[in-house]
A and B are shown apart, each in its own frame.
Chain A
Amino acid sequence: MSRRLLIVEDDEDTREFIAKGFGEEGYVIEQAEDGREGLYHATDGGFDAVVLDRMLPGLDGLSLIKSMRAAGVKTPVLMLTAMSAVDERVKGLRAGADDYLVKPFSFQELHARIEALLRRPQEAEESPTLNCRDLEMDLLTRKVMRNGREITLTPREFQILEFFLRRKNRVVSRTMLLEGVWDYHFDPNTNVVDVHISKLRRQLDEGGEPPLIETVRGAGYMISDG
């Protein structure tokens, strides 16, 4: 069954850009160009996710999301904002957004985040182990085995690997890692994430196996079964 996505965005170019991208990924798209229309569609229900611009004519994004949550609509919302300031992001999340993305963004990043939002509910019924190819992670004993060999990881490395395994077959961007693993809401100037990943890679691929974490050019990293 194809997924239904609501895009609330007043800028036509951006809206078309998002709609085209998700259309190609097989989503069914509904578009709204102002806050009131957006709220009307959102409360109508039937959407799997909402992409919501922060600044909208009629009703701004923050108010829209508050009204939507007040009306009991739990559809995950990703907020788009041109304001990169840290506390603006925090405000969006406090108002009830599930994720946010700063403009300008790459479609890959948006796609990865929407996919991550759609996966969330399934995490409730989780198994104590996560797998990918020849790697198994036991969340209870906190043991990681690859190809029958135990891999010793620091708590942080464990966390990064878990983050990847929970988003298997999906691109994980550097910002997603910074936010999800370190709870950092700004872009460091240095390549801190890359260094952490290459450290983790050395641990994981020690036995000469094919690299588990792939680099996706211009987008981030991915772990896949394939």
Chain B
Amino acid sequence: MDNLRLSFNNSRTRLVLASMVLSTLLTATVLALVYVTANRSIESETRSVVSAELTGLADEYERRGLIGLMRAIERRLPTAADRDALYLLTDRFGVNLAGNLKQWPENIAAGSGWVDLEVRRADNDELVPVSAASVRLPGGERLLVGRDALARQQFDRVLLRSVGIALAIALALSVLTGWLFTRLVFSRLSDIASAAENIVSGDLSRRMPLRGTGDEFDQVSGTLNTMLDRIEELVSNLRTTSNSIAHDLRSPLSRLKQRVETLSDPSKTDQEREIDIARASAEIDHVLRVLGQLTEISRAEAGVGREQFEPVDLQQLVADVVELYDPVAVDQGIQLEVTGTASPIPGHRPLLSQALSNLLENAMRYAPQDTTVTINLSEDGAYTNLSVRDRGPGVPQEDLPRLQMPFVTLDPARTERNAGLGLALVAAISHMHGGAFEASNCNPGLEAKIKLARKP
């Protein structure tokens, strides 16, 4: 039991961890994608604006000369602060001509493309991060256009923080859902496990708990309960059967013991001894017969012999069995009548013969004189029915289902040769043939019917 718990816990932890790792990875990937995409699109927008400005200003220089360019820059400066825009125009000696930067950044050659740097602003003397592009003009002047990257860096930081928070929340959520989910699963599973443990320790009436939610757990539990019902039924049958076996064998065996004991009685004549021996022998025969029938029943119930199935012509089989029993029936003043037809089915010929002969013997035992016992063959969907009907007193309605149980005889004067196993064997044989045994009252008489599957 401890092992069971332990392994539950182990696999529970593993499951939570796996679900956490998986969902966190997923969230992280999504967020990283958002971050990178946002960053890139802002950057490319900045660049396209900056290069457009740079190209436009260079055009101005070509069309209106240096003065025109300086004016154009002067025009832009008042709004530059709002736009985070930075400009610097120097002459060929590096002297500032226009713009809001203090001086040309060191180590940056004009026309070297896109650069990120820190420069000091001319207006407020602040050192600011800048993304910029520059160009060397035909007259040797250098023009730099840039954007203050501070705002973007701040946005970047905000974005990163949001991503971090989102990731943390996602992680927490995944831990929570994982824990809740596994708690749900394992609480249901441990309910089932504890019910199973109870059953293992002998309480066969215990059932899996149902929560009435109709979910998969309820469905599985329902199926398990059906299985348990069947097992309980079988076990209880088995118990009844073994009790009956014990009872049924005890009586002949104790009679046998008495007979053997009296054999040594010196007052007995040889003739009396002979009679005792014959009776003892008959008791032994009875015991052997019961054991043989029980073996046959359990084998048929287990389906042993199915590999010997062959096409069986039931009409021929019925005709043969009827031929065997007809003289006995005539002696008893009973008429045997065969009706109906059926096509061949896959089956175990010897066992089917035995089933029919058991049914016939049973019917003839209860059939009154000058009546007919009818053997009927019919087909009904997937089954072929073989029924034997007598015109006797029938069976009390409530006893019908008990007929096929081993050791059940409704005849209070159970005879030596009738241990109540005949119909149990018939039922086992019909189960072996994918069918069932049914008994019904026909008023007058009992109809005992075996259903046999027409296809294997």
A interface residues with partner B (beta carbon < 8 Å) = 83-87, 90, 102, 104, 156, 182, 184-192, 195-196, 199
Contact = CB atoms under 8 A, between A and B. Distances in A.
Interface string B352-382: 0110011001001000000000000000000
Contacts of A87: 299, 304-305, 308, 348, 350-351
Contact of B324 (A90, A189, A192): A192
Given A87-B308, A184-B324, A192-B328, 15 more contacts: A84-B295, A84-B296, A85-B292, A86-B354, A87-B305, A87-B348, A184-B357, A186-B296, A186-B353, A186-B357, A187-B289, A189-B358, A190-B361, A191-B328, A192-B324
B296 A86 contact: yes
6 contacts: A85-B305, A86-B296, A86-B351, A185-B350, A186-B296, A189-B417
Contact of B354 (A83, A186, A196): A186
A199 B328 CA distance: 10
Contacts of B299: 85, 87
Main secondary structure of the interface of A (DSSP, over half): loop
A182 B328 contact: no
A177 to B, nearest CB: 11
Contacts of A102: 292
Contact of A195 (B284, B304, B327): B327
Across the A-B interface, give the 7 residue pairs with the lowest CB-CB distance, nearest first.
Answer: A87-B305, A84-B292, A195-B327, A86-B350, A195-B328, A186-B354, A189-B417
B325 interface: yes
Contacts of A191: 328
Best-surrounded residue of B325, B327, B354, B422 (most CB of chain A within 10 A)? B327
A223 B370 CA distance: 35
Contact of B327 (A83, A189, A199): A199
Contacts of B323: 156
B361 A189 contact: yes
B422 A189 contact: yes
B288 A184 contact: no
B331 interface: yes
B233 interface: no
B320 interface: yes
A188 B305 contact: no
Interface in B389-443: 417-418, 422
Contacts of A85: 292, 295-296, 299, 304-305
Contacts of A190: 325, 328, 361, 364
Interface size class of B (residues with CB under 8 A): 20 to 34
Contacts of B296: 84-86, 186
A182 B324 CA distance: 8
Contacts of A192: 324-325, 327-328
Best-surrounded residue of B292, B324, B418 (most CB of chain A within 10 A)? B324
B327 A90 contact: no
Interface in B321-341: 323-325, 327-328, 331
B354 A195 contact: no
B350 A184 contact: yes
A185 B352 CA distance: 11
Nearest to B281: A218
Given A85-B299, A87-B305, A90-B308, A186 B324 contact: no
A83 B295 CA distance: 8
A185 B327 CA distance: 20
Contacts of B353: 184, 186
Contacts of B304: 85, 87
Contacts of B288: 104
B428 to A, nearest CB: 12
A46 to B, nearest CB: 35
A111 B323 CA distance: 30
A207 B94 CA distance: 156
Contacts of B422: 189
Nearest to A84: B292
A190 B334 CA distance: 15
Contacts of A196: 324, 327
Contacts of B324: 182, 184, 188, 192, 196
Best-surrounded residue of A84, A102, A190 (most CB of chain B within 10 A)? A190
Contact of A186 (B305, B331, B350): B350
Nearest to B291: A84
A102 B325 CA distance: 24
A90 B354 CA distance: 15
A85 B291 CA distance: 11
Contacts of A86: 296, 305, 348, 350-351, 354
Contacts of A182: 320, 324
A90 B348 CA distance: 11
B376 to A, nearest CB: 21
Contacts of A156: 323
A177 B361 CA distance: 19
B368 to A, nearest CB: 17
Nearest to A200: B327
Contacts of A184: 324, 350, 353, 357
Nearest to B293: A84
Contacts of A186: 296, 350, 353-354, 357
Contacts of B348: 86-87
Contacts of B361: 188-190
A192 B320 CA distance: 13
A186 B284 CA distance: 18
